[in-house]
Amino acid sequence: MVNASEYDPDEGINLHTEFSYSGKWPSKLIFSCLKTPSTDGETSLGDCRKMLKLLDPDVVKEFESKKIKYIRNLHNGSGFGPSWQNAFATDKREIVEEYCRLTEIDFEWRTNGNIKLIQTRPAIRKHPVTTDKIWFNQVEQFYPALFKKEIYETLLQMNDYDETELPMYSTFGDGSKISMEIIKHIQQLLEQVTVKRIWQRNSLLLVDNMLNLHGRMPYKGEREVYVSMI
Protein backbone atom coordinates (compact mmCIF):
# COMPACT_ATOMS: atom_id res chain seq x y z
CA MET A 1 0.00 0.00 0.00
CA VAL A 2 1.41 3.41 -0.94
CA ASN A 3 0.42 6.94 -0.05
CA ALA A 4 -1.43 8.43 -3.04
CA SER A 5 -0.74 11.98 -1.79
CA GLU A 6 3.03 12.04 -2.06
CA TYR A 7 3.39 14.52 -4.96
CA ASP A 8 3.27 18.33 -4.71
CA PRO A 9 -0.16 19.28 -3.23
CA ASP A 10 -0.30 22.47 -5.34
CA GLU A 11 -0.19 20.44 -8.54
CA GLY A 12 -2.95 18.05 -9.56
CA ILE A 13 -2.21 14.58 -10.90
CA ASN A 14 -3.74 14.23 -14.34
CA LEU A 15 -6.10 11.39 -15.16
CA HIS A 16 -4.29 8.20 -16.11
CA THR A 17 -4.68 4.44 -16.06
CA GLU A 18 -2.05 2.66 -13.98
CA PHE A 19 0.80 1.05 -15.98
CA SER A 20 -1.22 1.01 -19.19
CA TYR A 21 2.05 1.79 -21.02
CA SER A 22 3.51 -1.51 -19.87
CA GLY A 23 2.84 -5.16 -20.51
CA LYS A 24 1.52 -5.77 -16.99
CA TRP A 25 -0.95 -3.63 -15.13
CA PRO A 26 -3.16 -3.94 -12.04
CA SER A 27 -6.81 -4.76 -12.68
CA LYS A 28 -8.11 -3.02 -9.55
CA LEU A 29 -7.04 -0.08 -7.40
CA ILE A 30 -8.30 0.20 -3.83
CA PHE A 31 -8.10 3.69 -2.33
CA SER A 32 -8.70 4.34 1.35
CA CYS A 33 -8.85 7.71 3.08
CA LEU A 34 -7.46 8.11 6.60
CA LYS A 35 -7.29 11.91 6.62
CA THR A 36 -9.22 14.37 4.45
CA PRO A 37 -7.41 17.58 3.40
CA SER A 38 -8.76 20.94 4.63
CA THR A 39 -9.67 21.90 1.06
CA ASP A 40 -10.12 20.02 -2.21
CA GLY A 41 -7.85 17.01 -2.91
CA GLU A 42 -10.62 14.94 -4.47
CA THR A 43 -9.70 11.80 -6.38
CA SER A 44 -10.64 12.43 -9.99
CA LEU A 45 -12.06 9.69 -12.19
CA GLY A 46 -12.82 9.38 -15.89
CA ASP A 47 -14.54 6.73 -18.01
CA CYS A 48 -12.20 4.98 -20.51
CA ARG A 49 -15.15 3.93 -22.70
CA LYS A 50 -16.44 7.49 -22.85
CA MET A 51 -12.98 8.73 -23.86
CA LEU A 52 -12.97 6.35 -26.80
CA LYS A 53 -16.44 7.47 -27.89
CA LEU A 54 -15.58 11.17 -27.69
CA LEU A 55 -12.27 11.01 -29.55
CA ASP A 56 -12.12 12.01 -33.19
CA PRO A 57 -12.66 8.73 -35.15
CA ASP A 58 -9.63 9.44 -37.35
CA VAL A 59 -7.45 9.80 -34.28
CA VAL A 60 -8.82 6.53 -32.89
CA LYS A 61 -8.17 4.79 -36.22
CA GLU A 62 -4.58 6.03 -36.32
CA PHE A 63 -3.83 4.91 -32.76
CA GLU A 64 -5.56 1.59 -33.31
CA SER A 65 -3.55 0.72 -36.38
CA LYS A 66 -0.18 2.18 -35.39
CA LYS A 67 -0.20 1.59 -31.58
CA ILE A 68 2.15 3.61 -29.34
CA LYS A 69 5.89 3.32 -28.90
CA TYR A 70 6.88 4.31 -25.35
CA ILE A 71 10.52 5.25 -24.77
CA ARG A 72 12.13 5.60 -21.36
CA ASN A 73 15.71 6.61 -20.60
CA LEU A 74 16.51 5.78 -16.99
CA HIS A 75 19.68 7.19 -15.44
CA ASN A 76 22.20 5.36 -13.31
CA GLY A 77 21.80 7.34 -10.07
CA SER A 78 21.68 11.04 -10.86
CA GLY A 79 19.41 12.81 -13.30
CA PHE A 80 15.80 13.71 -13.97
CA GLY A 81 13.13 11.21 -12.89
CA PRO A 82 13.76 7.78 -11.37
CA SER A 83 17.00 5.82 -11.78
CA TRP A 84 16.73 2.33 -13.23
CA GLN A 85 17.61 0.99 -9.78
CA ASN A 86 14.56 2.77 -8.33
CA ALA A 87 12.27 1.90 -11.20
CA PHE A 88 13.05 -1.80 -10.99
CA ALA A 89 13.76 -1.93 -7.22
CA THR A 90 17.08 -3.72 -7.81
CA ASP A 91 20.69 -2.91 -8.67
CA LYS A 92 21.18 -6.16 -10.57
CA ARG A 93 21.24 -5.74 -14.32
CA GLU A 94 20.30 -9.38 -14.96
CA ILE A 95 17.00 -8.95 -13.05
CA VAL A 96 16.16 -5.90 -15.17
CA GLU A 97 17.03 -7.80 -18.34
CA GLU A 98 14.89 -10.81 -17.35
CA TYR A 99 11.90 -8.53 -16.60
CA CYS A 100 12.32 -6.82 -19.97
CA ARG A 101 12.44 -10.13 -21.82
CA LEU A 102 9.32 -11.40 -20.01
CA THR A 103 7.33 -8.24 -20.74
CA GLU A 104 8.59 -7.62 -24.28
CA ILE A 105 10.60 -4.48 -23.61
CA ASP A 106 13.61 -3.80 -25.84
CA PHE A 107 16.51 -2.59 -23.73
CA GLU A 108 19.92 -1.12 -24.36
CA TRP A 109 22.55 -0.42 -21.71
CA ARG A 110 24.39 2.80 -22.45
CA THR A 111 28.11 3.36 -21.84
CA ASN A 112 27.33 5.76 -18.96
CA GLY A 113 25.34 3.03 -17.13
CA ASN A 114 21.94 4.39 -18.14
CA ILE A 115 19.37 2.17 -19.82
CA LYS A 116 17.05 2.84 -22.75
CA LEU A 117 13.73 0.96 -22.74
CA ILE A 118 11.41 0.77 -25.72
CA GLN A 119 8.01 -0.93 -25.73
CA THR A 120 5.24 -0.80 -28.30
CA ARG A 121 1.75 -1.30 -26.89
CA PRO A 122 -1.84 -0.99 -28.10
CA ALA A 123 -3.53 2.35 -27.42
CA ILE A 124 -6.94 0.69 -27.27
CA ARG A 125 -7.74 -2.61 -25.56
CA LYS A 126 -10.75 -4.75 -24.80
CA HIS A 127 -11.85 -5.14 -21.20
CA PRO A 128 -11.46 -8.86 -20.37
CA VAL A 129 -14.84 -9.09 -18.58
CA THR A 130 -17.15 -6.52 -20.15
CA THR A 131 -15.46 -6.84 -23.61
CA ASP A 132 -15.90 -3.07 -24.03
CA LYS A 133 -13.29 -1.33 -26.13
CA ILE A 134 -11.41 1.15 -23.98
CA TRP A 135 -8.92 3.98 -24.33
CA PHE A 136 -6.06 2.45 -22.35
CA ASN A 137 -2.72 4.18 -22.67
CA GLN A 138 -0.58 6.95 -21.21
CA VAL A 139 0.45 8.71 -24.38
CA GLU A 140 0.06 12.27 -23.09
CA GLN A 141 2.15 11.43 -20.01
CA PHE A 142 4.98 10.44 -22.34
CA TYR A 143 4.88 13.77 -24.12
CA PRO A 144 7.60 16.00 -22.64
CA ALA A 145 6.60 19.02 -24.74
CA LEU A 146 3.78 19.34 -22.17
CA PHE A 147 6.26 19.79 -19.30
CA LYS A 148 6.88 23.30 -17.96
CA LYS A 149 8.77 25.20 -20.68
CA GLU A 150 11.99 25.68 -18.69
CA ILE A 151 12.11 21.99 -17.75
CA TYR A 152 11.47 20.89 -21.33
CA GLU A 153 14.14 23.26 -22.71
CA THR A 154 16.70 22.15 -20.12
CA LEU A 155 16.05 18.48 -20.86
CA LEU A 156 16.41 19.07 -24.58
CA GLN A 157 19.66 20.97 -24.09
CA MET A 158 21.06 18.19 -21.91
CA ASN A 159 20.26 15.64 -24.61
CA ASP A 160 21.51 17.42 -27.75
CA TYR A 161 17.92 18.22 -28.75
CA ASP A 162 17.20 14.53 -29.36
CA GLU A 163 13.71 13.90 -27.95
CA THR A 164 14.23 10.13 -28.04
CA GLU A 165 16.89 10.61 -25.34
CA LEU A 166 14.55 12.36 -22.89
CA PRO A 167 13.47 10.46 -19.74
CA MET A 168 10.08 9.70 -21.36
CA TYR A 169 8.94 10.08 -24.91
CA SER A 170 6.37 8.50 -27.21
CA THR A 171 5.73 8.16 -30.93
CA PHE A 172 3.30 6.07 -32.92
CA GLY A 173 4.38 2.46 -33.15
CA ASP A 174 5.87 3.04 -36.61
CA GLY A 175 8.12 5.79 -35.21
CA SER A 176 6.12 8.67 -36.67
CA LYS A 177 5.63 11.77 -34.54
CA ILE A 178 2.42 12.32 -32.58
CA SER A 179 1.36 15.92 -33.13
CA MET A 180 0.72 18.43 -30.35
CA GLU A 181 -2.73 18.94 -31.90
CA ILE A 182 -3.63 15.30 -31.20
CA ILE A 183 -2.24 15.47 -27.66
CA LYS A 184 -4.22 18.68 -26.96
CA HIS A 185 -7.36 16.96 -28.27
CA ILE A 186 -6.78 14.06 -25.84
CA GLN A 187 -6.09 16.46 -22.96
CA GLN A 188 -9.26 18.43 -23.64
CA LEU A 189 -11.35 15.24 -23.55
CA LEU A 190 -9.66 14.04 -20.38
CA GLU A 191 -10.82 17.27 -18.76
CA GLN A 192 -14.31 16.80 -20.20
CA VAL A 193 -14.76 13.27 -18.74
CA THR A 194 -13.37 14.17 -15.30
CA VAL A 195 -15.62 13.62 -12.29
CA LYS A 196 -14.46 14.37 -8.75
CA ARG A 197 -14.93 12.08 -5.80
CA ILE A 198 -14.95 13.95 -2.47
CA TRP A 199 -13.33 11.99 0.34
CA GLN A 200 -14.78 11.20 3.74
CA ARG A 201 -12.54 9.83 6.46
CA ASN A 202 -12.41 6.00 6.61
CA SER A 203 -14.08 5.55 3.23
CA LEU A 204 -12.98 3.21 0.45
CA LEU A 205 -12.98 3.55 -3.32
CA LEU A 206 -12.61 0.55 -5.63
CA VAL A 207 -11.52 1.42 -9.17
CA ASP A 208 -11.42 -0.91 -12.15
CA ASN A 209 -8.13 0.22 -13.70
CA MET A 210 -9.23 -0.66 -17.23
CA LEU A 211 -12.63 1.03 -17.09
CA ASN A 212 -11.63 4.20 -15.26
CA LEU A 213 -8.83 6.69 -15.32
CA HIS A 214 -7.87 8.22 -12.00
CA GLY A 215 -6.02 11.30 -10.77
CA ARG A 216 -5.93 13.79 -7.91
CA MET A 217 -6.98 17.40 -7.58
CA PRO A 218 -4.66 19.94 -5.86
CA TYR A 219 -5.25 20.38 -2.14
CA LYS A 220 -4.34 22.27 1.03
CA GLY A 221 -3.56 20.76 4.40
CA GLU A 222 -2.63 17.19 5.19
CA ARG A 223 -4.12 14.39 3.12
CA GLU A 224 -3.76 10.69 3.71
CA VAL A 225 -5.19 8.56 0.96
CA TYR A 226 -3.57 5.17 0.43
CA VAL A 227 -3.79 2.94 -2.58
CA SER A 228 -3.30 -0.80 -3.07
CA MET A 229 -3.14 -2.38 -6.48
CA ILE A 230 -4.22 -5.92 -7.31
Residues forming the site for Fe ion (CB under 5 A)? 18
- 18 vs 42, beta carbon nearer Fe ion: 18
d(CA 67, CA 121) in angstroms, rounded, equals 6
Q: How far is the CB of 16 from Fe ion (least distance, A)?
A: 6
- 19 vs 161, beta carbon nearer Fe ion: 19
Q: How far is the CB of 39 from Fe ion (least distance, A)?
A: 22
Q: How far is the CB of 176 from Fe ion (least distance, A)?
A: 28
Q: Please compute, for residue 77, the number of CA atoms within 13 A of its CA located in the half-sphere on the CB side.
A: 3
- 26 vs 79, beta carbon nearer Fe ion: 26
12, 213 Cβ separation under 8 angstroms: no
Q: How far is the CB of 147 from Fe ion (least distance, A)?
A: 18
Q: How far is the CB of 135 from Fe ion (least distance, A)?
A: 16
- 26 vs 173, beta carbon nearer Fe ion: 26
For Fe ion, the nearest residue by Cβ is: 18
Count of beta carbons in the 10 Å neighbourhood of residue 154: 13
- 69 vs 214, beta carbon nearer Fe ion: 214
- Give the torsion sign (CA, 30, 36, 41, 42): positive
